[in-house]
Structure 1
Amino acid sequence: MTVTFKNVYKTLGRKAKRTLVFEGASAEIPGDRITGILGAPRSGKSTMANLTIGKVRPDRGSVRRGSLVSFPMASGVVFNGSLTPRENLAFLCRVFGFDPVPIIRFVRDFTEAGKWMDKPMREVDRDTRTRLVFTAGYAIPFETYIVDENILGGSGEFRERCVDLVAERMQTAGFIIYTSSPSLLKRYCTDFFVIDQHQIFPAATVDDAVARLGSDHVREGSGEVDGIDETGEEVNDVSPG
């Protein structure tokens, strides 16, 4: 269940302005463990996540997946705003080869979405949309869940239930968590890698990963977001202290 990067080259941008992200990067990332990928802001974490799920392809080299990987958790952009949550979930289940009936039932009950299950997603209120987006990913029984910074969402009692849901999934599936936050990795992860100088390096501990990057190149965060708006963008109502 390994995700294997082999001699991966990747640049982004237009012909006139190309940004090098990876240059001959290789790594074997366990897909059945709780693995953290630490990188500085704008170091290529989201690009690596998209390479992992197959959303983008390497310019050269290969990325091979030995398990069924998820879309990034908390990604509102996987929902079509013109479709209802029920229709969106049915579509996602067909794409990944799962029976939609129990998954839709689980999402409906866990989120307490009620009537919103059959309203176009763009009309769903923000709190319910956030509950739906976070629950949808964890409701599908992936073998490896992909987290791009945000692992939890919502507020109040739902946030507490989401914590329990993530802990439950971590008992039966692997996670690959891409983040700039050492504390997020210390909270969850057992295996560690670092994105540095367009390469992917293993690290024995979070502290070793931070030492390689330098403490001024990391950014603390909780991996939690309060809301997701109708465009799929994150919304956080909590002002920094």
Structure 2
Amino acid sequence: MIHCRNVHKTYRAGKTDKIVLDGVDFSINPRDRIGLLGRNGAGKSTLIRLIGGVEMPTSGKIIRRMSCSWPLGFTGGFQGSLTGYDNARFISRIYDKPYAEMRAFVEEFTELGSQLQMPVKRYSSGMRARLAFALSLAIEFECYLIDEVIMVGDKNFQDKCKDEFFEKRTDRALLLASHSLSTVRRYCNRAIVLKNGNATVYEDVNEAISVYEAL
């Protein structure tokens, strides 16, 4: 399980502090598929970064008893001067996964071909997202954190993403920040609505969507 306990996050904005998260409490259980809803600027990306350990909360605790992916989205923690292959090699060493296996999966999943030999800083946002998805899926985390994008590229690649996340990994937890209400409605069993720094958990996804639509 993953527990957020009274999580606060503020950023310095000039001479004042901007409160992004103001006492967030919820848990992610094994097999949970949680949709994270909120208007732009509500703190969805911030919350995902905190859970993924990319940033630290200003106060409160995040207790992880499941392994988490890094936040998957158009941005990521890649070394821009390294190629796609080199980033895969680096990740394989960190997580002690055979590089040959990692490379084969990345090649098949991303469909980037010779572009994997290019520095990542030359990638488009969609190419970076493909690489981020492939590297994360190759590690087999217990909980996947997805920020805004689940479908990138052509229909073939979109179908591949759906199959990997929603069919092959039904035993994994998922926190999905998305504006696609149809995706949240179809695949999530719970939802969280962020508003004014507060997180309200809904066991009924349709109720959460109704609240979000009214914002």
TM-score by length of 1: 0.78
Q: Secondary structure at the match of 2:169?
A: helix
CA distance in 2, matches of 1:170, 1:121: 28
Q: How does 1:71-90 map to 2 (within 5 A)?
A: 71-90=70-89
Aligned residue in 1 for 2:153: 154
CA distance in 2, matches of 1:24, 1:129: 33
Aligned residue in 2 for 1:54: 53
Decide which moves more: 121-130 or 108-117.
121-130
Q: How does 1:173-184 map to 2 (within 5 A)?
A: 173-184=172-183
Q: Does 1:66 align with 2:99?
A: no
Q: Does 1:26 align with 2:25?
A: yes
C-alpha contact (below 8 Å) 2:126/2:153 kept by paired residues: yes
Which structure 1 residue ranges, 5 or more long, are not aligned? 218-241
C-alpha contact (below 8 Å) 1:138/1:169 kept by paired residues: no
CA distance in 1, matches of 2:189, 2:210: 17
Q: Deviations over 1:23-46 (max 9, x none)?
A: 222212224321112222211101
**CA gap 1:86/1:27 in 2 versus in 1, 3 angstroms:** same
CA distance in 1, matches of 2:12, 2:163: 40
Task: Give aligned pairs, total.
Answer: 215
Decide which moves more: 134-143 or 36-45.
134-143
CA distance in 1, matches of 2:134, 2:170: 17
Q: Deviations over 1:58-85 (max 9, x none)?
A: 1111111111101122344322221111
TM-superposed deviation, 1:134 = 3.2
C-alpha contact (below 8 Å) 1:149/1:177 kept by paired residues: yes
Residue type of the alignment partner of 2:45: S
Q: Deviations over 1:148-192 (max 9, x none)?
A: 111121114333333322234432321111234432210210122
TM-superposed deviation, 1:19 = 1.1
Residue type of the alignment partner of 2:187: Y
* Aligned-residue RMSD, C-alpha: 2.4
Determine what percentage of the aligned residue pairs are the same residue. Answer: 28
Aligned residue in 2 for 1:92: 91
Q: Secondary structure at the match of 1:153?
A: coil
C-alpha contact (below 8 Å) 1:31/1:66 kept by paired residues: no
CA distance in 1, matches of 2:211, 2:154: 35
TM-superposed deviation, 1:123 = 4.3
Q: How does 1:78-157 map to 2 (within 5 A)?
A: 78-123=77-122, 129=128, 131-157=130-156
**CA gap 1:111/1:89 in 2 versus in 1, 3 angstroms:** same
TM-score by length of 2: 0.86
